[in-house]
Amino acid sequence: MTGSFSALLGLEARVTSALLWGLVGCLSVLVCVQGYTLLVDPLVPITQALALALVVGSVAAGGAYVLEPRLAAWAANRTTK
């Protein structure tokens, strides 16, 4: 198996990174909702939790896609000063 995960899917590395950050955001919301449900009481029904997770995941993926080049440029400039 040669090549990266991005190359296997035919996506740019930036897109793959953004999608993975969206997945992390989505799963984090679901874990928090499940933990609250186990400890206290169901906060929202599962359908609303899935909808909330999709919204959070989409925002995280969009934010990662937009901000990644700016953060990389900031980090590169920070190490040269």
Along the 81 residues of the chain, how does pLDDT read in single tens digits? 456 766 667 788 889 999 999 999 999 999 999 999 999 999 899 999 999 999 999 999 999 999 998 988 888 888 765
Separation CA 71–CA 63 (nearest Å): 11
Q: What is the pLDDT of residue 18?
A: 93
Q: What is the pLDDT of residue 73?
A: 87
Sequence spans of domains, the chain: 12-80
Which amino acid is residue 9, in one-letter code?
Answer: L
Distances (CA, A) of 70 to 30, 31, 60, 76: 29, 30, 15, 10
Query: The whole model's pTM is what?
Result: 0.81
Which amino acid is residue 23, in one-letter code?
Answer: L
Q: Which two tokens stand for residue 5?
A: 């995960």
Determine contact, residues 55/19, Cβ cutoff 8 Å: no
